[in-house]
A = this chain, B = another copy of it.
Amino acid sequence: MCMNLKLATEIGKCLSNNPRVQILEWLKEPEKHFPPHETLKHFNDGVCVTYIQEKAGLSQSTISTYLANMEKCGLLIITRHGKWSYFKRNEELIRQYTEFLL
Contact = CB atoms under 8 A, between A and B. Distances in A.
A5 interface: yes
Nearest to A6: B18
Q: Which secondary structure dominates chain A's binding surface?
A: helix
Interface of A: 5-6, 8-9, 11-18, 21-22, 24-25, 91, 94-95, 97-98, 101-102
A15 B91 CA distance: 19
Given A98-B98, A101-B94, A102-B95, A16 B18 contact: no
Q: Give the interface centre of A13, A15, A24, A25 by most chain B CB atoms within 10 Å.
A: A15
A9 to B, nearest CB: 5
Contacts of A101: 15, 24, 94, 97-98
Contact of A12 (B16, B25, B95): B16
A86 B11 CA distance: 28
A65 B9 CA distance: 18
Given A98-B98, A101-B94, A101-B97, A5 B18 contact: yes
